[in-house]
């Protein structure tokens, strides 16, 4: 998939966040890279057969004090990793033998993985740790 097409799906994924969530997001850059760097892989304790779909770096809203933003403040970042997301979407692929419409189903799977990854990483921005995020994801999927 072309980077520009993937970036459009990232923009769509952000727009799928509820408006009240978008209004609370402060000082966050949304980035796209091919894959996690070796430095990030090491920092996250990943083995050779593990990867990341996304990564939040910054100071969560829940930890920002009254002096946050006084003086120069670098934005937090959420990075989405295109190749692992595409690989995850490929694993979700279903085949529509009637219409033989593999491309649109693949794009829909990428769209879904992107949206879920954005939700996950912004949950970290709001201060949830990995366990809390996963518990909320399970509850969301149960609905």
pLDDT digits (tens, 9 = 90+) for 37-88: 999 999 999 999 999 999 999 988 888 877 777 777 888 999 999 999 999 9
Number of domains in the chain: 1
Answer yes or no: is pLDDT of 16 > 70: yes
What is the domain-level CATH number for residue 123? 3.30.2010.20
> What count of Cα atoms within 13 Å lies in the side-chain half-sphere of residue 89?
26
Answer yes or no: is pLDDT of 17 > 90: yes
**Interatomic CA distance for residues 121 and 77, integer angstroms:** 10
Show the domain range for 103: 3-142
Q: What is the pLDDT of residue 143?
A: 47
Task: Please name the residue ranges forming H helices in 18-81.
Answer: 19-24, 38-43
Mind listing the pLDDT tens digit for each residue in 104-142? 788 899 999 999 999 999 999 989 888 888 888 777 665
User: Model pTM?
Assistant: 0.85
Helix/strand/coil percent split, the chain, to 5: 50, 10, 35
> What count of Cα atoms within 13 Å lies in the side-chain half-sphere of residue 124?
19
**Interatomic CA distance for residues 56 and 53, integer angstroms:** 11
**Interatomic CA distance for residues 52 and 46, integer angstroms:** 9
């Amino acid at each position: 998939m072309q980077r520009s097409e993937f970036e459009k799906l990232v923009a769509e994924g952000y727009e799928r966040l509820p408006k009240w969530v978008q209004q609370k997001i402060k000082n966050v850059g949304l980035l796209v890279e091919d894959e996690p760097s070796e430095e990030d892989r090491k920092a996250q304790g990943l083995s050779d057969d593990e990867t990341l779909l996304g990564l939040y770096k910054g100071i969560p809203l829940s930890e920002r004090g009254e002096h946050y933003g006084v003086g120069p403040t670098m934005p937090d970042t959420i990075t989405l990793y295109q190749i692992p997301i595409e690989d995850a979407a490929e694993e979700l692929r279903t085949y529509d033998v009637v219409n033989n419409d593999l491309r649109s189903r693949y794009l829909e799977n990428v769209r879904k993985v992107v949206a879920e990854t954005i939700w996950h990483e912004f949950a970290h921005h709001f201060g949830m740790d990995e366990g809390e995020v996963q518990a909320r994801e399970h509850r969301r999927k149960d609905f």
